[in-house]
Amino acid sequence: MIVGFSVAACSGVFAALASVFSKAALEDGGKLVRPALCPWIQDEYCDTVVLLARVILLALMLLSNAFMITLFVRSMQYCSSTAEATVINNAANLLTTATLGQCLFGEVLSLFWWFGASLIIVGMLLIRQGTDSKTLSDREKTK
């Protein structure tokens, strides 16, 4: 049970990381990457280094997505139901994305955002609860 939870949560974190790498690579021609790199290098090499950094970030996005999918499939094997794996994955993704967005990009999340995120998580938990009770009743029928 704890293994399934951990693997599903890691899957959600990798999904959030993929979003961060994608945003950093594709945001307005490298406007997020350029200020971080160009002060440290000569002006004539800045465009080349920024392009290389963006390519690396896109590769990291693809790698993060591959890890996310692999871990998510694994978590469905370890969790008691696919709904449980989905709830944990989505909750971890939502919370990690919010945290990284605030820390790395200075995004401000309103109270309405947190309220909506809470409703999504509660809804997913209710779906999981319904799936678990259905699975339990199916097991009782087979006994």
Extract the tokens encoding 66: 């591959």
Domain total for the chain?
Answer: 1
Q: What is the pLDDT along the chain (143 residues), one digit of tens a residue?
A: 688 889 999 999 999 999 999 988 888 666 777 777 777 777 788 888 888 988 999 999 999 999 999 999 999 999 888 888 988 899 899 989 999 988 888 889 899 988 998 888 888 778 777 765 655 555 556 65
Q: How many CA atoms lie within 13 A of 48 on its CB side?
A: 5
- SS3 category, 30: coil
Spatial neighbors of 136 by CB under 8 A, at least 6 apart, are none
From first CA to last CA, the distance across the chain in angstroms is 23
pTM of this structure: 0.79
Per-residue pLDDT at 112: 93
Per-residue pLDDT at 68: 97
What range does the domain containing 102 cover?
A: 2-142
